[in-house]
Amino acid sequence: MMIQVSGLNKIYNSGEHPVHALIEVNLEVKAGEFVSVMGPSGSGKSTFMNILGGLDTPTSGSYRLDGIEISSLDDTGMAKVRNRKIGFVFQNFNLLPRMTALRNVEMPMLYAGLNARERVKKATTALERVGLAGRIDHRPNQLSGGQIQRVAIARALVNEPAVLLADEPTGNLDTRSGEEIMAIFQDLNRSGATIVLVTHELDIALHTSRIIHFRDGRLEADEKVENPLDAVEQLKKLGPAHQNSPRSGEISAPGALTEAVPHSQTLSAEQGRKGDAR
Ligand SMILES: Nc1ncnc2c1ncn2[C@@H]1O[C@H](COP(=O)(O)OP(=O)(O)OP(=O)(O)O)[C@@H](O)[C@H]1O
């Protein structure tokens, strides 16, 4: 079992009254599953993801990640687990604005003791994996929202984590860019990645094979998706990307997680959207 959560509770005591944000949550996720987390605002999704990611600790209960009991680790132990086992993708991207895509993706490897050549090689491979081979020297303000999110995914992948956690990774993107991100996640999942993704959109959740629902801090439903939507098929239905449409991306064919549009064709659109990409 990749993720094993039992009797998990989280109580915040920061305000005047304690907030019971998670109540007796139980969940098991096998290696290789693709799970989405849904629920109204305030239902506990972020709290749950923060605990899964080792960014916060539960008040009580057990959380095992890849066999390691996380809830009993100290800060140093937790930081190690985060660095080695978990890849994060956030809605607001969290990239360093002054650094190129390549340097951003190299960041998680800086502390892993790899030499510069190995770092560049692995970062380049990760960027190729998300279809950004031709953009490795671009800075975030030279990329579309969808491309920035792909850099963030490459960065999350580069240490080969046991699990990928994504909090609203398509939340700031248009339909096509969102589908492109889902195509990458589906591709990674088919190669064996375990992924847990928070989304407010059912259309996005239906790309995963299991949806769990939170309400008032409780995990109230856990359902299997019989025929998950295939993002590559959805992209075909959307038709060809319009050259002038803001933030349109480049993945347009099955398996084509590579650049389909020559660099020069996208430059003008990029210039037009500078500044609103994040
Ligand atoms: N640091 C904190 N201190 C006190 N209360 C908190 C803290 N973080 C979250 N909460 C409370 O815990 C509950 C769950 O919040 P959480 O952010 O996990 O919900 P969510 O489902 O992620 O919501 P959203 O979809 O709006 O992001 C809410 O009542 C929230 O106000």
Q: Give me the amino acid identity at 239.
A: G
Confidence (pLDDT) at 212: 98
Closest by CA position to 163, among listed 31, 47, 260, 44: 31
Report the CATH fold assignment for 3-238: Rossmann fold (3.40.50)
Give pLDDT tens digits for 59-87.
999 999 999 998 888 889 988 888 889 99
Residue whose Cα lies nearest atom 8 of ligand 1: it is 47
Residue nearest to atom 1 of ligand 1 (CA): 12
Q: What is the pLDDT of residue 112?
A: 73
From the CA of 39, give the closest atom in ligand 1. 21
Query: Residue ranges of the domains in the chain?
Result: 3-238
- What crossing angle do the helices spanning 145-157 and 116-129 adopt, rounded to 10°? 130
Tens digit of each residue's pLDDT, the chain (278 residues):
999 999 999 999 988 899 999 999 999 999 999 999 999 999 999 999 999 998 889 999 999 999 999 888 888 998 888 888 999 887 766 789 999 999 999 988 887 778 999 999 999 999 998 999 999 999 999 999 889 999 999 999 898 888 999 999 998 888 998 999 999 999 999 999 999 999 999 999 999 999 999 999 999 999 999 999 999 999 999 987 765 444 444 443 333 343 333 333 333 333 333 334 33
How much is the CA Rg of the chain, to the nearest whole Å? 19
Give me ligand 1 centre to Cα 46, in Å: 7
| C-alpha 74 – ligand 1 centre gap (Å) | 23
Kindly report the protein residue whose alpha carbon is nearest to atom 20 of ligand 1.
42
Bridge partner residues of 60 (DSSP)? 9
Task: Give pLDDT, residue 82.
Answer: 87
* Ligand 1: lining residues by beta carbon, under 6 Å: 12, 14-15, 19, 21, 39, 41-47
Pocket test for ligand 1, best of 13, 25, 41, 199 (most atoms within 8 A of CB): 41
Q: Cα of 96 to ligand 1 centre, how many Å?
A: 26
